[in-house]
Amino acid sequence: MRKASVRVRAALGATVVVALALVAAGFFVVATLRDGLAGTARLGAENAARSTAAQAGHTARGAIPDLDGLDGDEPVQVVDASGRVLGASDPLEGRGPVADFARVDKPDEGDGGSDDDGGDDDGDDGDGVEVDSDSEHKTLSFPVDDDGDVTYDKDDIVGSQDFSVAAVQGRTRDGTPVTVYAGASLGAQQEAVSTVTRSMLFGLPVLLVVVGGVTWLVTRRALRPVEGIRQEMSAITASTDLSRRVPEPEARDEVARLARTTNETLAALEASVERQRRFVADASHELRSPIASLRTQLEVAAAHPELLDVDGAVEDTVRLQALAADLLLLARLDAGERPAGKRVSLAELVREHVAQRAGDPHPVRLPALDDGEVLGSAGQLARVLGNLLDNAQRHAASQVTVRVRREGGGALVLAVEDDGAGVPEDERERIFERFVRLDDARSRDEGGAGLGLAIARDVAERHGGTLRVEDSEAGGARFVLRLPGADG
């Protein structure tokens, strides 16, 4: 199944995240609003109950119906310990107790309802009036008319409404224990919660559509340069023209960095392909000469065996073998082959290699060989040393010098010097390119194919080191190979 585009996925993701956030926020807002309004209703009911209880404390039992707290439209009742309603507000007149929770206990016989037994209560107002400092709350339902007022007239009842009812205990002036029930309507709370919930239910889809649309448009605009990069890369792939580049946006954002990185990759790829093309062309050219020479000698020998130049044929074969080995090593290096991580002593490597070169035209001096080891391939490092010595022998006037010294930080430096003409400063990087020979007049047999120094630098870099050329004290060239020490 085809996956949705990045724009669609981003829009859907943003919409889902916003939806979850809004739903969570909505639940929090509704819960907070409900609790806040319910708390307000409870506080109102408790204040009304305490006020009525305080008035009852200054009133005789028979005068309870005339209390100021019973002349309103809110449900208020004063109930004694036996469950008799001593007074009630207009909506509850003639009704029995609306509740029986937190009701005072019936006094024991002989108690007489004396007001002396509660003088230490926290609600004592100083005149023997007691109001219990504790209160209890319950939510009760009352029938209401179309104005939301409590009514028991069947002709006026339109439904029921929840009320927060508070119960507070107290005593009348003559010592009768009573419980005052007072209710506050929760209709405002329920209406407010319903209004907010409806607003959220209607507003949430609209907001989500806006969020999804804006996200889609913003993502589309942000990804427009990416589409341009994709189209140009597709065109480059189809045309195989690596000289083309993708457009780079002016903004300094991730897409611009992607475009720059893509162009840098294309440039590196173009250079690599061009280098590979030149390498193949040069390799073909270099291989053509020994093969042609060897073929000519074999054809002549086939026709005139007495004219066979065995030494020349062997020399061409050796040259062809060496060139093939160089090309194979370069191919492995280009493929990213990493050297083995074995410990190699540079001083010991130099001594063994120089001892095997008894036929060199110039003597090799070893004035200073510091001890030290590097990590790498002994065979590849020996190849570097051999290539550097071959180059030095080819250009030296009388002698070649090899030194190994340890630098601060644990690095080891191998230097190969000659007393020849040296390397011009403007050519010191070019000589490390493949198939480059500064002396175009010399023969290929003497100068080689121009791969030795290129191989030496590639091997040095694969070992984490560097190879450069500078002037030597004898006036010739000094090739300096610097490698990290094994213990560094």
> At 328, which CATH number?
1.10.287.130
Q: Find where tokens 């095997």 sit.
A: 356
pTM reported for the whole predicted model:
0.50
Q: Is residue 248 part of a domain?
A: no
- Classified as helix, coil or strand, 51 is helix
Q: Per-residue pLDDT for 415 more than 90?
A: yes
Task: List the one residue out of 88, 104, 112 whose CA is nearest residue 174.
Answer: 112
Query: What share of the chain in percent tops pLDDT 90?
Result: 24
Task: List the one residue out of 169, 191, 189, 185 whose CA is nearest residue 72.
Answer: 185
One domain, residues 329 and 462: no
**Bridge partner list, 7:** none
Q: Both tokens of residue 306? A: 């007495």
**Bridge partner list, 185:** 163
Q: Is residue 30 part of a domain?
A: no
Q: Of 187, 207, 224, which residue constitutes the final position of a domain?
A: 187
Evaluate the CA torsion angle 313, 319, 320, 322 in order and state its sign.
positive
One domain, residues 298 and 402: no
Given a contact cutoff of 8 angstroms between Cβ atoms, the answer to whether 418 and 477 are in contact is: yes
pLDDT at 238: 87
Q: Per-residue pLDDT for 412 more than 90?
A: yes
How would you write 180-213 as a 3-class SS string?
EEEEEECHHHHHHHHHHHHHHHHHHHHHHHHHHH
**Bridge partner list, 403:** 368, 415
One domain, residues 69 and 179: yes
- Give the residue-averaged pLDDT of 380-384: 91
Q: How far apart are CA 389 and CA 398, in angstroms?
A: 13
pLDDT at 257: 86
One domain, residues 311 and 391: no
Given a contact cutoff of 8 angstroms between Cβ atoms, the answer to whether 179 and 169 are in contact is: yes
Q: Per-residue pLDDT for 105 more than 50?
A: yes
Q: Is residue 199 part of a domain?
A: no
One domain, residues 266 and 150: no
**Helix 254-303 vs helix 310-334: crossing angle, to nearest 10:** 170
Given a contact cutoff of 8 angstroms between Cβ atoms, the answer to whether 179 and 105 are in contact is: no
One domain, residues 280 and 349: no
Task: Sort strands 364-369 and 400-406 into parallel, antiparallel or unpaired.
Answer: parallel
Give the lowest-confidence range in 31-45, 116-130, 223-237, 247-261. 116-130
Q: Of 283, 312, 334, which residue constitutes the final position of a domain?
A: 334
Q: Per-residue pLDDT for 129 more than 50?
A: no
CATH number of the domain to which 444 belongs: 3.30.565.10
One domain, residues 351 and 464: yes
pLDDT tens profile 281-293: 777 777 777 788 7
Q: Of 187, 212, 230, which residue constitutes the final position of a domain?
A: 187
Burial of 86: CB neighbours in 10 Å, binned 0-12, 13-18, 19+:
buried
State the residue range of the domain holding 310: 254-334
One domain, residues 377 and 288: no
One domain, residues 349 and 437: yes
Q: Find where tokens 């370069």 sit.
A: 330
User: Looking at the 3D structure of the chain, how many domains does it have?
Assistant: 3
pLDDT at 302: 83
Q: Per-residue pLDDT for 119 more than 50?
A: no
pLDDT tens profile 311-329: 777 877 887 887 788 788 7
Given a contact cutoff of 8 angstroms between Cβ atoms, the answer to whether 53 and 64 are in contact is: no
Backbone angles phi, psi at 142, to 5 degrees: -125, 145
Q: Find where tokens 């040095």 sit.
A: 460
User: Average pLDDT of the chain?
Assistant: 83
pLDDT tens profile 202-261: 888 888 888 888 888 888 887 788 888 888 888 888 888 888 888 888 777 788 888 889
Band (pLDDT 50/70/90 cuts) for residue 484 is very high
Task: List the one residue out of 203, 266, 276 whose CA is nearest residue 435.
Answer: 276
pLDDT at 127: 45
pLDDT tens profile 266-280: 888 888 788 778 777
Q: Which residues 6+ apart lie within 8 Å of 255 measured at CB? A: 222, 223, 225, 226, 229, 249
pLDDT at 73: 83
Q: Per-residue pLDDT for 385 more than 90?
A: yes
Q: Which residues 6+ apart lie within 8 Å of 43 measured at CB? A: none
Q: Which residues 6+ apart lie within 8 Å of 379 measured at CB? A: none
